Chain A
Amino acid sequence: MTLDLLLTTLSAQLFTGLVLGTIYVLLALGLSLIFGLLTVVNFSHGSLYMLGAYLGFSVLSLTGNFWLALLAAPVMLAFLGLVVERSLIRPLYGRSIDDPLLLTFGLSLILIEAARLIWGKLGLTFDPPAALAGSVNLGFIYFPSYRLFVICVTAVVVIALALFLGRTDLGLIVRAGTRDPLMVRALGIDLNRVWLLVFGIGCGLAGLAGVLAAPMRGVYAEMGVTVIIESFVVVVVGGMGSLAGAVVAGLLMGEVVSLTTLVAPKMADIVVFIVMAVVLMVRPSGFFGEAGLME
């Protein structure tokens, strides 16, 4: 391989890794947000991602409008999140961390079977809108326009979330609730409603990730099963509960998987776990995690 070709291949590889990373980022953000505030390890996140793709598909086939589907899926998932928090998660607050974990794990199995019942076992094809169907010549690679769009949407979501948490009163309450829920309550703030809202936002992000991934990867009931494990790894590497960590670790994992695929494709599957092991040895609480949160 000449140097020129090597550089071209490498930059193409980094770019494809960026898109892999964006899906991790969106999933890890939701997981981390929910864990940071509620200390709930939401195991149903992968199934919510899958459900986002299916609901997006249904809206698309009913209305023929991709943009509506892109909007409707996260909204529906956020609403589902509200219902789940209010009816299933809330009674478990104050118990050990395992209880909501087991509950959400069961919920994820139910959702997968439900998807098979409603939409069938066969999997569905989700076409990107005509405006984004082509590809763009970036000089070193022909890159599908849709994937560029996914990068942009993720960037917008990350910035919006950062502004919400950093610049709004509600964001302040969320951050304060993460640090010291007791003190926030003492100040007369109803944290239950904040928890409800945050759970909804987290689930909405999973739905968004699902509907965004659907045109690239297709829609099937098991689509959330492996991706959720990798997203958990991203959360752990980034630091449990840290949003900056979710973004950095998500993008890093995308690149690591992509570059490993270039060099040793067989390792691509397990490399995320190797990275996790190494990071945890050096920094037991992840990149941006606070020590002691999980103890």
Chain B
Amino acid sequence: MKPTDRRSFMKGSAAVAAGLTFPGWGARVARAQAKDPIKVGFLTPLTGAYAAEAADQQTGATLAVEEINARGGLLGRKVDLLVRDDQLKPGVGAQKAKELIESEKVQFMAGGFSAAVQMAVNEQTKKAKVIYVSTGQSNEITAMPDWSPYTFHEAINPFISAHAAGTWAANNLGKRFYVLAADYAYGHQLLDGFTRVAKATGGTMVGSANHPIGTGDYSAFFPRIQAAKPEVLVLANFGKDQLNSVKQAHSFGLKQQMKVFCPILLGTMRREGGPDIFEGVYGSTTFYWELAEKLPSARRFVDAYQKRFTRLPFDYAGYAYSGVRLMLEAAERAKSLEPDKVAAALGGHAYEHYKGKQWIRKCDHQSFQDVYIIRSRTAKEQRGESGIFDIVARVEASESLERSCKDLGHA
């Protein structure tokens, strides 16, 4: 082979290579932007004391994303769900949120359980102008100064919870409260709420104590609680902590001396703990699957969920399902992924995803929804593995249950 031949061969192949790559490359990038999946980041504490509810959240979010993909995706693009474990730690939540925003370039964020983790995630999404729907209880996330124009709160909060459920408990179970609360924002805010409710209903707060998240043994709290002689013991905790504290209160005979009330009475924990441990326990929730007997939207959700995961959905599966759907459908209505346009489509939006009417208050982005008072069924009353609660009362969704926009620092 002559040298010139080789040189021309090199030139030619380089040209061909360039011709193949560069124009094509540009086109591929353009196509990729239109066809690349839309990414939804989802943070939830897959390990630790709240793992059961986190697993439910993951399934709920998965269902919402699968439903939108089944009908052709969002704006013609597939939606990917990226689930990360926040380990119930604000630092980890912030770091994972940052990673999702910066490396994965997620367009949407949802999830968050602990009020503290939500605030950490909120700080990241606020800075990066990413739409975030939080699906756990928090008083601060809708209030100034932490409020973000891009953050929406699908779950109720401790203020609403205490106001709706606490008032019911005071009027129906007894007016002497003792609050045993998990030692973080959620527990503290519920204690404040129940203290307010006690005052408003003419009751008394006979005592309170905090326990760290993940406490294994609650027995040391009991003598003091028994000595205070409350009519209602409020267990302002969540996940495994709820199960362990109810179980130990049961084995120490506390339920013979007082009513036990769980502001978020969890189906996951009740199913795990069984009817005896929870016998006589009251609480509240924003969704219980037997609502399907009355509400068509609940029927559709429960059937779809059961078909996909072969079990029944509880409240936190519902929050995640509805929360993810909420922001994806807002982008659909806005016909855009621009955070400002999506946010505009969400403010004041009314919807019924799975449990009756809900709406987003424009000023603070809180979603208003019904609260149900439930009672654990006894072994005799229980229907199947998941027919575990009786709905004893419904507190209708109302903005009067929440602080006013002015109270929250919104103009």
Contacts and interface: CB of A to CB of B under 8 A. Distances in A.
A193 interface: no
B227 A1 contact: yes
Given A10-B223, A123-B272, A125-B274, 13 more contacts: A1-B227, A8-B223, A8-B227, A13-B223, A16-B223, A141-B226, A142-B252, A142-B253, A147-B219, A218-B244, A221-B47, A226-B216, A265-B221
Given A125-B273, A269-B212, A13 B220 contact: yes
Nearest to B221: A261
Most buried by B among A13, A19, A116, A213: A13
A268 B243 CA distance: 21
Interface string A117-141: 0000111110100000101000001
Contacts of A217: 216-217, 244
A220 B214 CA distance: 10
A280 B174 CA distance: 49
B46 interface: yes
B173 interface: no
Interface in B203-226: 209-212, 214, 216-217, 219-224, 226
Contact of A12 (B210, B212, B223, B251): B223
Interface of A: 1, 5, 8-10, 12-13, 16-17, 19-20, 116, 121-125, 127, 133, 135, 141-144, 146-147, 213, 216-218, 220-223, 226-227, 257-258, 261-262, 265-266, 268-269
13 contacts: A9-B224, A16-B219, A17-B220, A19-B219, A127-B274, A135-B252, A216-B248, A217-B216, A218-B243, A222-B48, A226-B216, A265-B209, A265-B211
A266 B223 contact: no
B352 interface: no
Contacts of B243: 125, 218
A216 B227 CA distance: 22
Interface residues of B, number: 35
A5 B274 CA distance: 34
Contacts, number: 101
A216 B252 CA distance: 11
Given A216-B217, A222-B47, A125 B272 contact: yes
Contacts of A265: 209-211, 221
Contacts of A146: 251
Contacts of A123: 51-52, 240, 272
Nearest to A223: B216
Interface string B13-54: 000000000000000000000000000000000111101100
A116 B48 CA distance: 11
B216 A213 contact: yes
Given A8-B227, A125-B243, A262-B224, A222 B219 contact: no
Contacts of A268: 220
A16 B222 contact: yes
Contacts of A227: 216
Contacts of A127: 274
Given A122-B52, A218-B240, A9 B46 contact: no
